[in-house]
Amino acid sequence: MKNLVWLFLLLTVLVVACNKDKFTTEPKVEVKSISPGTVSSGDVISLRAEYTDDEGDLDSTYVVYKWYDGTTVVLSDTFRFPVDALNLPPKLRQAEMFVQFEYNTNNHPDLMPLSGVSLRDTTASFGLLLIDKAKHRSNYSESAKIRLKKP
């Protein structure tokens, strides 16, 4: 019986310790995927990520994009992506988010166009940074590289 009590206490401590870091005041974001792997002019780029925020008060989403020449970053820029375009209910503490924008055209008026189009084939990565209403910044999470084809 004594061993059973100790086992119960140990399991309780483990459960509490594991759940302790799941939600924090600062938002946390993790980019899970990006598609398509090769992007041509007019294609829609979809960035899938997951986030947590204890208060559920997400205010700003920033997309950082980097274009590469081999391993060297030749262009890096940041743009604010509207939170309301994510269609997330208010006070949501954890969710999967999809950030979509189109490359080099404005064929989809409901999507944000990606500015600064490359004049040659290149690779690119896209990252996310979140800020909540109390101005807490999340970690930065970046996608794998994709290929951008010149227009």
Of residues 25 and 140, the one with the higher pLDDT is 140
Q: So what's the pLDDT on residue 19?
A: 52
> 151 pLDDT exceeds 60?
yes
Kindly list the distances between the CA atom of residue 41 and the CA atoms of 44, 63, 113, 119, 148, in Å, as whole numbers in the listed order: 9, 19, 11, 11, 8
Helix (H) or strand (E) holding 42: none
Band of the pLDDT at 150, cuts 50, 70, 90? confident
Task: Residue 148: name the closest of 97, 79, 85, 101 by CA.
Answer: 101
Average pLDDT of span 53-79? 89
Of 3.30.465.10, 2.60.120.260, 1.25.40.10, 2.60.40.10, which CATH number belongs to 22-148?
2.60.40.10
pLDDT over threshold 90, residue 69 = no
What percentage of residues in the chain have a pLDDT greater than 90? 43
Q: What is the pLDDT of residue 45?
A: 94
For CA atoms 131, 109, 30, 94, give the dihedral sign.
positive
Q: To the nearest whole percent, how much of the chain has pLDDT over 70? A: 83
Q: What is the pLDDT of residues 83-121, one digit of tens each?
A: 888 888 878 889 999 999 898 888 888 888 877 667 788
What was the pLDDT predicted at 62?
Answer: 93
